[in-house]
Structure 1
Amino acid sequence: MSHITQSAVHCINPDCQRPYPQPWGNKFCNSCGAPLELLDRYVPLQPLGSGGFAQIYTVWDQKTQTEKVLKVLVEDSPKALELFTQEAAVLSSLHHPGVPAVDAEGYFQVQLFNPKLHQLPCLVMEKINGQTLEEILKKFPQGCPENLVINWFAQTVEILQELHKRQIIHRDIKPSNLMLGTSSPTVTTPQGQAQGDRLVLIDFGGAKQFSASKLRSQSSSTRLFSSGYSPPEQVTGSIVGPSADFYALGRTMIELLTGKYPLELEDQQTGKLRWRTVVNVNPQLADLLDEMVQEDVRSRPANAAMIQKRLAKISQPLPPTGLFAQLQDKIKQTLGQVSQGFTLLIQAIERVLANFTQAVTKTVVFIAQTIIKIFQACLATIWAMILAYVGACFGAIAGFILAYHTSLGHWVVQSISTQLNQLVPNTQPIFGADILVFIAAGWGTAWGLTVSGCFGQRRRFLVASVMGMISYGFGWFILQLITPKDSGEGLVAVILVAACLLTLSLGLRSHHVVYAVFAAFGSAIAYALLIILGLAPPIFQFSSQPAWSELQLPLIFFGSVGFFISFWLGVSYYLIVPGLRFLGWR
């Protein structure tokens, strides 16, 4: 023991400025004043590393004259303290050779004064001399021998059986948490495992108590997992049970057999491990491991006893083989390889069919959505055309009544005649009252388009109505200036002016100039074609006392203008503007 009594001591205060070396025999740290003899029994010697929220040290137990491991919680969060206390409680309750032993007084707290008064939770446990399976695996890059893996597998299942019997799940099984205690610290050959080698499950920081009632409930658990090993229900924070340990153990054993990290073996589409072609192992062992790593909890083995029973059959020595038996084994092996090849072929075909089906489905959905959008666009445009036509006709009728059947018309005639004679000499009064027809038709057209709510409008009724009256009134003024009066140029000019100004006032979201140009020129060209084909009147005039029959031609004109404006707004909204956006005009 001379090397112990002559060793320097390490201070466990995480805030100590000079934790090492401290003279052997000192009760307190020379730098920060923290206790160096814990419980007057344990003396920290050197740090072994860190894990999770804790710092780990080798300590000398003066009572038993043995080296042990001290785990010190350096994280001060409530959750870290809860997990640390939980680990101490689990280890203290277990007495199994596959679990590090903890003394009766192994969990305690050390009071520190520097830099402030606080408690430092500590846990002293048995020191396991050996290597983790992660360290051993580095010596076998192509995978560990099958007989070694089966031995480790069986020992781990026995440990889990004891844990689960006490309703404890580990929740963090992986190669780095399985330690092989050996008489020699290294493993030199595949056959280097001694009969007395003992596998120990370490790091119980994530261990948790479970019960049957909790497993049946829908409550969730703490989201604590190790990527590549933990099952899906643990990764998502759902309730977990013993099968979570079986899943992690299965993936751990597959990694030990193949030498590959589980995520490297995962199929990108299905998430299943494709490992059986990487290494040739006992088919019964491979089947058992595949069942353990199923995503569905119900497909995994129900308990450790079932796994032990199947492992016992796998571990049974084979009877002496004769020529016939060797031939039979060869045939079975060949059939197994053929079966695996056929399975891979079927899986490849399934993936191709799945991709093809997915592509066809996307295409069909895209076509269906396109047809629906076209149908909706047609309905919206037709609805706007109907309302604009009806609104224009209603406005024209209202304007006709105001102009020729109320005193307002006579007052407008006199006012406009006076003003118009100053601008355009020799103007007859008969041209004064029909401005009310134009203004009212503009109001009706604007009102109908706004009521339809199509083409992404902001539905500004007042602005659209006022601008509709102004635009059609200005069109009437343009009509008075154009000669000769009996040509169709006047009405085409009215459409250009009225449609352009009206469209700019509709409260469209963007590309106002595009809408105005297409609505104005499209409507004007369409009406010009109707004039050429003899389907629309080139001009209309009201007499001094017009009859209702004279309203027929104005109704055709104003209704067709509203009809054409709506049509070209639909073309612009659903075709032209999206095309410009696609070309980069925002």
Structure 2
Amino acid sequence: MTILCPNGHENPDTNRFCQSCGIQIATPVNTAMTAGIILGNRYRITKEIGQGGFGRTYQCEDINRFNELCVLKEFAPQVQGTAFLTKAQELFEREGGVMYGLQHPQIPKFREMFRENRGGVGQLFLVQDYVAGNNYQQLLRQKRKQGKTFTEAEMTDFLVQILPVLGYIHSLGVIHRDISPDNLIRRESDGLPVLIDFGGVKQVAVTVATQYMSGANNAENNNSYVPTRLGKVGYAPNEQIQRGVVSPHSDLYALAATTLVLLTGKEPSDLIDPQNFTWNWREHISLTPKLASVLDRMVQLRPNDRFASAQDILTALQYPELPISPVPPLPPPPKPLQPPVNSNPKIPQTVATGTKKNPVATPIPPTVVTATKEEQSNNSNAGAKNPSLLAIVGKTWMFIAAVVGAIALGWLVASLSAKFRPSFNSPNRSTSLPHLPSQPSQPSKFAKALLDSRMKN
């Protein structure tokens, strides 16, 4: 068990003075609640799971939701008086509203806040979803018993999985303030890290206790607040511990400190040089250059020297390292333009080579085209409009047809006469095929008459 001093530093529950700042630690006025007690007519205590400087944390069953497990955080400040408790309740409700607005699968859902009097003392309670699993401090303790620590591959996956959660809360203007191995749980169902125990509630508790211990006995007439510091020494950066300044940079610093502790198995006090506050983790572990440079930048002393956002860290982790390549050679001379490729394989592709010559007309075989009725009508109209052209074309074709017919008729007559010519067998003459005359035969009288008649027409 650990308890908090008024400045938010964790201490063993046996300490009466803070081991970090030396301030006196007051023992909580309340006693632990036993199993079976029902609070708010709804939450039945099953066991105590933690203790802080301002109260205890319990595992409970929600009897209105089929005994669903949940976490109940108790706030029992060592202050007396209605004014202080009322002010504390206002601050808690404000912080509870912020937590209620956080809707992320790796953040326990905030259920409600209520107030209840026990033994004449007013107490505030916060209820959140229960996350089954061990926190990373417990996991490290188990590994160290086996002589092991978390590997680089495990912690790289851890960073890639938890950085989007920080990016989400930072985008809403929420700072966790208390990132450490015991405030991160590895969920049993999927192995993802879950961010718990936001420091805003602790900050409220510290604020109320500090006001009370500073002698502000009448909070209603005193609106000034004593600056408070919250965060674990070694995990929180100097600007948070010394001046109470928190920002996304401080959460990212604490995340890097958590990662180095899980990698080395050493406490932050064993890794930080007390003279210049630099981290000397390389004496205990060797990492790849990429992860080493990322962690070094995350734990820089000045906030402006760190990464600006969780997304920047993700980019640095996931972007591959570029190898150093030699100077590239000069590019080759440009190639001559190639003719376009014919997309239709049925049409032959013509490629021009050599010097340009005058084109030679290639005869195109005649194509028989059947004219449509409309084209025939147009042709008839065209012939009617130009009768001389039609007459010339008609006579030319008639002449060609007559000549062809005469030749064909002459060849037919000659073939028939040769076929029926009697052959003479003589011992001095060998039998052979009849020879065609060397000169074409003259057209018959019938063919001449037919030709003359067509010419006259």
Please indicate the TM-score interval, normalised by the length of the shorter structure: 0.5 to 0.7
SS in 1 for 2:142: coil
What is residue 74 of structure 1 aligned with on the other side?
76
What is residue 462 of structure 1 aligned with on the other side?
none
What is residue 94 of structure 1 aligned with on the other side?
102
Q: Residue 252 of structure 2: which of 246, 250, 253 is its match? A: 246
CA distance in 2: counterparts of 1:263 and 1:299, whole angstroms: 22
> Quick check: 1:64 aligned with 2:79?
no
Q: Deviations over 1:60-106 (max 9, x none)?
A: 11222211111111224459767754553332111111111122xx1
CA distance 1:19–1:287, change in 2 (3 Å)? closer
Q: Deviations over 1:291-326 (max 9, x none)?
A: 010011110001111011112226x9x99xxxxxxx
SS in 2 for 1:137: helix
> Quick check: 1:294 aligned with 2:300?
yes
Partner amino acid for 1:199?
P
TM-score (norm 2): 0.53
CA distance in 2: counterparts of 1:204 and 1:86, whole angstroms: 14
What is residue 187 of structure 2 aligned with on the other side?
181
CA distance in 2: counterparts of 1:82 and 1:243, whole angstroms: 28
Unaligned runs of 5+ in 2: 1-27, 205-224, 324-457
CA distance in 2: counterparts of 1:304 and 1:20, whole angstroms: 42
> Quick check: 1:124 aligned with 2:127?
yes
1:306-385 alignment to 2 at 5 Å? 306-313=312-319
State the 1:287 CA deviation: 0.4
CA distance in 2: counterparts of 1:238 and 1:46, whole angstroms: 34
State the 1:167 CA deviation: 0.2
CA distance in 1: counterparts of 2:179 and 2:264, whole angstroms: 17
State the 1:47 CA deviation: 1.6
Unaligned runs of 5+ in 1: 1-12, 23-35, 184-195, 210-218, 320-586
Contact 1:230 1:247 (8 Å CA) reproduced:
yes
CA distance 1:156–1:45, change in 2 (3 Å)? same
CA distance in 1: counterparts of 2:296 and 2:91, whole angstroms: 31
> Quick check: 1:200 aligned with 2:194?
yes
State the 1:123 CA deviation: 0.9
SS in 1 for 2:38: coil
CA distance 1:55–1:19, change in 2 (3 Å)? closer
> Quick check: 1:140 aligned with 2:143?
yes
| Higher RCO structure, 1 or 2 (CA under 8 Å, sep 6+) | 2
Contact 1:229 1:251 (8 Å CA) reproduced:
yes
Of Structure 1 and Structure 2, the greater helix share is in 1
CA distance in 2: counterparts of 1:273 and 1:83, whole angstroms: 36
SS in 1 for 2:199: coil
What is residue 261 of structure 2 aligned with on the other side?
255
CA distance 1:51–1:155, change in 2 (3 Å)? farther
Partner amino acid for 1:75?
P
TM-score (norm 1): 0.42
CA distance 1:83–1:307, change in 2 (3 Å)? farther
State the 1:140 CA deviation: 2.8
Contact 1:91 1:99 (8 Å CA) reproduced:
no
Q: Deviations over 1:141-196 (max 9, x none)?
A: 3431111111221222111111101101111111111111114xxxxxxxxxxxx2
SS in 2 for 1:168: coil
CA distance 1:221–1:306, change in 2 (3 Å)? farther
What is residue 440 of structure 2 aligned with on the other side?
none
RMSD: 3.0
CA distance in 2: counterparts of 1:126 and 1:21, whole angstroms: 19
Partner amino acid for 1:285?
L
What is residue 162 of structure 1 aligned with on the other side?
168
CA distance in 2: counterparts of 1:229 and 1:240, whole angstroms: 13
CA distance 1:151–1:70, change in 2 (3 Å)? same
CA distance 1:301–1:46, change in 2 (3 Å)? same
1:416-565 alignment to 2 at 5 Å? none
Structure number, greater radius of gyration? 2
- Give the percent of matched residue pairs that are identical in Structure 1 and Structure 2: 34
CA distance 1:286–1:81, change in 2 (3 Å)? farther
